[in-house]
Amino acid sequence: MKQLTIGELAKLAGVSRSMLRFYEEQGLLKPAARSAAGYRLYAPSAARTLLFIQRAQRLGFSLADIQVLLERLGRDGRFDQSVVRLAEERYLAIERQLTDLLVLRHEMAAFLSDLSSRVEAGDGSGRDLYEQLIRRVCGHEPGATPPREALAWLLERTGCALASLDRDELLDALAGRHVHVWRDDDGYKVLIPGHDARLEAALGAIARVEADCHAHRTPRLERTDEGFLFSAEGDKAFLFAQFFLELEAASGRDAHADRNRTEVSAPDDNP
């Protein structure tokens, strides 16, 4: 296949030439040859390598870790236990970060519940609320649970049109699929692999509802080689990302429940 110039590769991969040179300086990308005039030429497979590098960076892998991953992949297309350990270490780091945020969300939800209860009861004073908050954050006092499921409350509170969607059809269409979500500049991108008609119809319904949503800018829906890509921007784009993550989690719970029901109802072959 025809080799690519640095400009052609940059356009194909959607990155700048300076980024390609940076990856080359870091040992992550190597030209396949040089032209007669001395310009870099890259193999068509370099575009796939760039995609791998960018996705690994989004997962938080360091450039040194990515170099190890590429070296292992380049040997014979097989990973070894060292790659598994790298992925496990990165996953544990994410879990630690996530735990901090979940604890913070839990305590903030309890604090918000206290405030809401006081307002509804007509007690607007701040008397002893500070001491209660300190005791709760220190773990010495149980707090009230949020009045509603967190995402549902967020969608309702912000007036997001996603709150009005019937999730049953979406759950069916997403069953067994892994939703890829990543931060991108001023928003989030959500990739749902696959092109079947049921999935396209379900995502089309989301796009139509979102066209009238005033909580955040209307996301863009694109059909790609891998599947369907939503791009949401703005300070409330996180609602869109959370919505799809919750759908995937709910789809997984439903599938698990179905398997359990099947196992319980299966006839016993032993007399």
| DSSP one-letter string for 242-267 | HHHHHHHHHHHHHHHHHHHHHHHHSP
Instruction: For the chain, give every domain's residue range.
Output: 4-60, 84-147, 152-264
Give me the pLDDT at residue 223, please.
Answer: 92
129 or 30, which is more confident? 30
pLDDT at position 22 over 80: yes
Exposed, middle or buried, 164 (CB in 10 Å: 0-12/13-18/19+)?
Answer: exposed
149 or 160, which is more confident? 160
Give me the pLDDT at residue 124, please.
Answer: 56
Please, are residues 46 and 79 in contact by the beta-carbon 8 Å criterion? no
Distance CA 121, CA 94 (A): 40
Across the range 44-63, mean pLDDT stands at 90
Across the range 167-181, mean pLDDT stands at 82
Give me the pLDDT at residue 62, please.
Answer: 92
pLDDT at position 264 over 60: no
User: Residue 223: in which H helix or E strand, if any?
Assistant: strand 220-223
The residues, any chain, with a CB within 8 Å of residue 19's CB and separated by 6 or more, are: 10
Distance CA 205, CA 219 (A): 13
Q: Average pLDDT of the chain?
A: 79
Give me the pLDDT at residue 147, please.
Answer: 40
108 or 147, which is more confident? 108
User: Residue 181: in which H helix or E strand, if any?
Assistant: strand 180-184
Distance CA 61, CA 192 (A): 22
Would you state the CATH architecture of domain 4-60?
Orthogonal Bundle (1.10)
Of 187, 170, 191, 188, nearest in space to 249 by CA: 170
pLDDT at position 145 over 50: no
Distance CA 186, CA 76 (A): 38
Of 38, 47, 34, nearest in space to 8 by CA: 47
Query: By mean pLDDT, which of 2-6, 47-51, 160-164 is the weakest?
Result: 160-164
Which of the listed ranges 2-11, 107-116, 243-252 does the model predict with the highest average pLDDT? 2-11
Output the CATH code of domain 152-264.
3.30.1360
Across the range 129-144, mean pLDDT stands at 52
Distance CA 6, CA 244 (A): 36
| DSSP one-letter string for 89-103 | HHHHHHHHHHHHHHH
